[in-house]
Amino acid sequence: MMRILVTGGAGFIGSNLVHHLLGEASSGTETPVERVVTLDKFTYAGSRMNLADLESDPRHVLVEGDICDTELVGRLLREHEIDAIMHLAAESHVDRSIDNPEEFIMTNFVGTYRLLEAFRVYLLEHGGENRVFLHVSTDEVFGSLGADDPPFCETTRYAPNSPYSATKAGSDHLVRAYHHTYGLPVVTTHCSNNYGPYQFPEKLLPLMIGKVLKGEPLPIYGDGSQIRDWLYVEDHCRGLVSAMRHGKRGECYVIGGKCEMRNIDVVRELVEAVRERVPGIRPADELIIHVQDRPGHDLRYAIDPSRIETELGWAPRENFPSGLRRTVEWYLANDEWVRHIEEGPYHGERLGRLAQG
């Protein structure tokens, strides 16, 4: 039986992961998950609503707190006899990192250091056998690709371009160093753009779904030719669990959806998906407007997930057209969630801004 601490479990990927751990990941032939402890600071990006259906599940414990609080983390590790930390807590929005890098340095870099340190002390006291620290990073640490460059893989050199990706890159190096210096059992993953349920409306897909439904213009950075790889969040969660259970300690794995698309094409397809479900929606070309590009905007991210496919037997199951339609369906069915998020600490303050990864 496994006991897992998920940091950032009230955010987008974290809440999908907590549901996956207590659902699909516990119903197969692998060691079941006995307990999930979610540690979340509830910044603007975390919501209790994302985990509300687990309130009466005795396997889930929700703790409000900061990953920078070493004493709290140490107590949770000991009290719940944690086997695995799955570390997702982060400041994750590139535009916000351009406006205010300091919070990113504190949570993404210092916070990861404090977690590693708490885990190191815990292992000294309780032994490291069968324990693991899974560090969830991003493909953005590799910088930008040219149109004809090969996709990112585990040996791509680091070249972070934004304050966000620089703080994630710094945390990756700390994780690596804790393995080499102290023998900490760690695995790092780098994923591409996730999409699916529970994503905050500052990110591209939910932002655009909301605007399409309201009949508002769809602002696209520059000419929209930036290319991203799209990974359905459920596929990502399966990859994270595989890497946590079977990933080689001290190694890293890139995870992608094998789905490279230009931002403009993503938005066009999204409008079509909404039009299929909601009558009276105007076509994409009547709604799209082009706005000034983000400073230092990376041109292309792409992923070659061969390693996780061959070593861990993982592969994406969802293709983009079908994952997109599932996502649109979720947002249509959860308009109360959207309203709650927009009216909460998030305040819709960034709804006018873009987030195109």
Would you call 53 a catalytic residue per the annotation? no
Out of 4, 5, 6, 13, point to the residue binding ligand NAD (CB under 6 A): 13
In the chain, alpha helices (H): 12-22, 24-27, 70-79, 94-99, 101-104, 112-126, 163-182, 204-214, 233-246, 263-277, 284-287, 306-312, 320-333, 335-343
Of 40, 66, 122, 164, the catalytic one is 164
* Residue with Cβ nearer ligand NAD (90 or 175): 90
**Sole binder of ligand NAD in the list 6, 19, 22, 40 (CB under 6 A):** 40
Determine the Cα–Cα distance for residues 272 and 223; give it in Å rounded to an integer.
Answer: 20
Q: Which of 68, 121, 153, 338 binds ligand NAD (CB under 6 A)?
A: 68
Rule CB under 6 A: choose which of 26, 97, 107, 188 binds ligand NAD: 107
Sequence-distant (6+) residues with CB within 8 A of 186 are 132, 133, 134, 135, 175, 176, 178, 179, 249, 250
* Ranges within 82-101 binding ligand NAD (CB under 6 A): 88-92
Site string for ligand NAD, 178-217 (x = CB under 6 A): -------------x-xx-----x-----------------
First to last CA, the chain: 37
> Minimum distance between the CB of residue 39 and ligand NAD, rounded to whole angstroms?
6
Among 136, 252, 259, 284, binds ligand NAD (CB under 6 A): 136
Binding of residue 228 to ligand NAD (CB under 6 A): no
Task: Determine which residue in the list 2, 5, 6, 12 makes contact with ligand NAD, applying CB under 6 A.
Answer: 12
Task: Pick the stretch among 34-42, 288-296, 304-312, 315-323 that binds ligand NAD (CB under 6 A).
Answer: 34-42
| Shortest spacing between CB 172 and ligand NAD, in angstroms | 11
DSSP 294: P
* Residue 41 interacts with ligand NAD (CB under 6 A): yes or no: yes
Structure tokens at 267: 């938005």
Residue in the block written with tokens 């994750």: 92
140 is known as an active-site residue: yes
Which residue's structure tokens are 């779904």? Answer: 209
In angstroms, the CA 122 to CA 188 distance is 20
Catalytic residue among 40, 140, 229, 318: 140
Q: Does 263 bind ligand NAD (CB under 6 A)?
A: no
Shortest CB 90 distance to ligand NAD, Å: 3
Piece of the chain touching ligand NAD by CB under 6 A; list 35-43, 75-83, 117-125, 221-229: 35-43
* Phi and psi angles of residue 2, each rounded to the nearest 5 degrees, phi first: -105, 145
Closest separation in Å from C-beta 240 to ligand NAD: 9
Distance of CA 168 to the CA centre of its chain: 12
Burial code (b: 16+ CB inside 10 Å, e: under 16) for 295-322 equals: eebbebbbbbbebbbeebebebebebee
- Give helix 204-214 / helix 320-333 axis angle, nearest 10°: 60
Burial (Cβ within 10 Å: 0-12, 13-18, ≥19) of residue 94 = buried
Residue 187 is inside which H or E element, if any?
Answer: strand 186-191
Q: Does 42 help bind ligand NAD (rule: CB under 6 A)?
A: yes
Size of the site for ligand NAD (CB under 6 A): 31
The footprint of ligand NAD (CB under 6 A) covers 7-8, 10-14, 39-43, 45-46, 66-68, 88-92, 107, 111, 136, 138, 168, 191, 193-194, 200
Could you give the residue numbers annotated as active site? Answer: 139-140, 164
